[in-house]
Amino acid sequence: MQVMETRKTKLGAEHPDTLASMANLAFTLKSTGRRSEAIDLLRTYVTKQQRILGPAHPHTVSNSDTLLAWETEDLAI
């Protein structure tokens, strides 16, 4: 969390390194059972990525697919 916040302050909220930290934190949160926080953060990340790279960019598509999978995990059980 601290790395992401520091990068936001120093580099800006939409800098690629800040966004990478955001994505990494989302995966870390999910792996530690903080699913809701992870989904919220990944959703913010994907929204920014869509705006910066465009919705058809391969990275945006991949991360959008991950977000959808996370959001629908409980429905598959």
User: Token pair for residue 44?
Assistant: 């913010």
- What pLDDT shows up at residue 14? 87
pTM of the model: 0.85
- CA pair distance 71, 63, nearest whole angstrom: 12
- What pLDDT shows up at residue 54? 93
Instruction: Write out pLDDT tens, residues 8-67.
Output: 888 888 888 888 899 999 999 999 999 999 999 999 999 999 999 899 999 999 999 999
Q: Where are the domains of the chain?
A: 2-76
- What pLDDT shows up at residue 55? 94
Residue carrying structure tokens 């913010």? 44
